[in-house]
């Protein structure tokens, strides 16, 4: 059985890999190199993985890396509370050792002060892992640092690489120290035609094929849709607010909630952001004694997206899940902010600049044809397929017929 090495960070990256993992194991000996929070993720999922400590030990650089990492943390005043001292020192130490191949310690500090972790690109370390594991193929998402380094190392070693774009192909972080700005996998999997067009527009040439497969993190939406055939009634109109952990959020929340006063034909469900302290929400709603506003504390988000008529957000990536459900999406932008993810510019949502316009716009969207172009864009945006199945099908075809 041929060997597939997967290099992944945590968050959405490890979620993508988790969806693919059981399918890939049918045809490959799969090895996961889990970085940062991906360790806890795969440990909780009871999926075997190797971590940075494992490879640093196997390559006999652990002591040297920890020593350098401790020095870097001290000199750069790095906050190590998130991952803990041991993991943070090893991460910085391994990354720093690669940097020191081509620069001095003083320049390493200067580069970090100018670029942060973008200055890390441990290609040699990943080349050594490749020599140790001898994989036939490498798979990553499109994260920087170790994931990017794994693709570049694979190219240097003549190993076929696969990469998965997590969003729309327009969010790549390129370090000024990157020796290969054209970094991209040999075979790339994207969520839709827009993402494919974005990659082509960027001028990437060092790849063999781009496949439109959908996005594995939305597979749970499609599975949920199969189980929950829900016909959402139009009255009362159910609005789901996906809150964000950003500045002015309390003021925005107060304006939003107050606007629902005496709106008996509307119900508001509030889903706090996972990192948000939402005690102020509960206190405000209880004080005002609203009867048509509810906070979702431990509820399954997909159930409420499915049962909502309208999803309201700023730039939450859960908006994509609403789009996968073909829901009406509205962006609340009361301070004319530049959001990092702009559903309005993508043609997928209606922009609400004034809270007084919200209810008229909702009724217009639901009961007229004014926004038929946006409605069609939402329908066309994501392919209605299991992305995990499509990606694995492509990988199996590529590895069996080409290599």
**Three-class HEC string of 166-178:** CCCCCCCCCCCCC
Residues 59 and 163 in one domain: yes
Same domain, 148 and 266: no
The domain of 189 spans: 3-218+385-401
> Within this chain, do residues 214 and 321 fall inside the same structural domain, yes or no?
no
Looking up tokens 């075997």 gives: 48
Model confidence at 383, in pLDDT bands (50, 70, 90)? confident
Q: What is the DSSP string of 119-134?
A: G---HHHHHHHHHHH-
Is residue 195 domain-shared with residue 53, that is, in the same domain? Answer: yes
- Of 92-101, 174-183, 346-355, the least confident: 174-183
| Tokens read off for 50 | 């190797």
User: Same domain, yes or no, for 166 and 268?
Assistant: no
**Chain centroid to CA 347:** 20
Task: Report pLDDT digits (tens) over 53-84.
Answer: 999 999 999 999 999 999 999 999 998 888 89
Please tell me whether residues 28 and 144 are part of one structural domain: yes
Domain count for the chain: 2
For residues 377 and 392, membership in a common domain is answered with no
Pair 214, 228 in one domain:
no
**119 and 163 part of one domain:** yes
Instruction: Give the whole-angstrom CA distance, residue 9 versus residue 7.
Output: 7
Q: Which residues pair with 8 in a beta bridge?
A: 34
pLDDT above 90 coverage of the chain, percent: 53
Query: Do 137 and 232 have their domain in common?
Result: no
CATH code (residue 156) = 3.40.50.2000
Quick one: 290 and 368 in the same domain? yes
Cα separation, 158 vs 141, whole angstroms: 19
pLDDT at 265 over 70: yes
Residues 372 and 253 occupy one common structural domain: yes
Alpha helices in 123-238 (DSSP H): 123-133, 146-157, 193-201, 219-227
Question: What are the φ/ψ torsions at residue 7 (nearest 5 degrees)?
Answer: -115, 120
* Cα–Cα distance for residue pair 295/50, rounded to 1 Å: 39
Given a contact cutoff of 8 angstroms between Cβ atoms, the answer to whether 366 and 328 are in contact is yes
CA distance 3 to 32: 11
Yes or no: say if 317 and 12 are a contact pair by the CB < 8 Å rule. Answer: yes
- CA gap 349, 95 in Å, rounded: 41
Lowest mean pLDDT among 137-146, 268-277, 360-369: 268-277
Comparing 133 with 119, the larger pLDDT belongs to 133
| pTM, entire model | 0.79
* Cα 148 to Cα 39, 41, 120, 211, 250, distances in angstroms: 19, 21, 10, 19, 38
Q: How confident is the model at residue 176, as a pLDDT?
A: 57
């Amino acid at each position: 059985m041929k060997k597939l090495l997967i290099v992944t960070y945590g968050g959405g990256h490890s979620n993508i890999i988790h969806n693919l993992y059981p399918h890939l194991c049918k045809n490959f000996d799969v090895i996961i190199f889990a970085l940062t929070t991906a360790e806890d993720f795969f440990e909780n999922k009871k999926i075997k993985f190797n971590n940075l400590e494992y490879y640093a030990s196997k390559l006999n650089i652990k002591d040297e890396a920890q020593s350098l990492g401790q020095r870097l943390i001290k000199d750069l005043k790095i906050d190590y509370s998130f991952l803990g001292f041991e993991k943070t020192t090893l991460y910085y130490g391994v990354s720093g050792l690669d940097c020191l191949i081509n620069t001095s310690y003083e320049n390493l500090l200067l580069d970090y002060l100018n670029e942060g972790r973008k200055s890390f690109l441990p290609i040699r370390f990943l080349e050594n892992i490749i020599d140790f594991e001898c994989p036939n193929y490498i798979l990553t998402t499109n994260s920087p640092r170790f994931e990017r380094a794994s693709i570049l190392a694979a190219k240097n070693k003549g190993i076929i690489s696969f990469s998965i774009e997590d969003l729309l192909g327009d969010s790549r972080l390129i370090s000024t120290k990157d020796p290969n700005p054209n970094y991209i996998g040999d075979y790339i999997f994207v969520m839709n035609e827009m993402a494919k067009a974005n990659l082509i527009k960027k001028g990437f040439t060092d790849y063999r094929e781009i496949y439109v497969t959908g996005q594995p993190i939305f597979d749970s939406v499609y599975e949920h849709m199969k189980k929950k055939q829900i016909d959402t009634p139009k009255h009362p109109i159910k609005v789901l607010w996906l809150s964000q952990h950003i500045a002015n959020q309390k003021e925005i929340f107060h304006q939003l909630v107050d606007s629902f006063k005496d709106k008996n034909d509307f119900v508001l469900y509030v889903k706090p952001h996972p990192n948000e302290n939402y005690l102020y929400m509960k206190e405000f709603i209880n004080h005002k004694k609203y009867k048509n506003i509810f906070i979702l504390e431990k509820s399954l988000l997909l159930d409420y997206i499915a049962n909502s008529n309208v999803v309201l957000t700023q730039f939450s990536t859960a908006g994509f899940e609403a789009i996968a459900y073909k829901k009406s999406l509205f962006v609340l932008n009361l301070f004319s902010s530049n959001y990092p993810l702009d559903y309005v510019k993508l043609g997928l949502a209606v922009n609400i600049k004034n809270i007084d316009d919200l209810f008229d716009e909702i009724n217009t969207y639901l009961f007229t044809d004014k926004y038929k172009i946006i409605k069609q864009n939402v329908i066309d945006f994501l392919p209605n397929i299991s992305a995990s199945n499509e990606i694995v099908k492509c990988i199996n075809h590529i590895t069996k017929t080409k290599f």
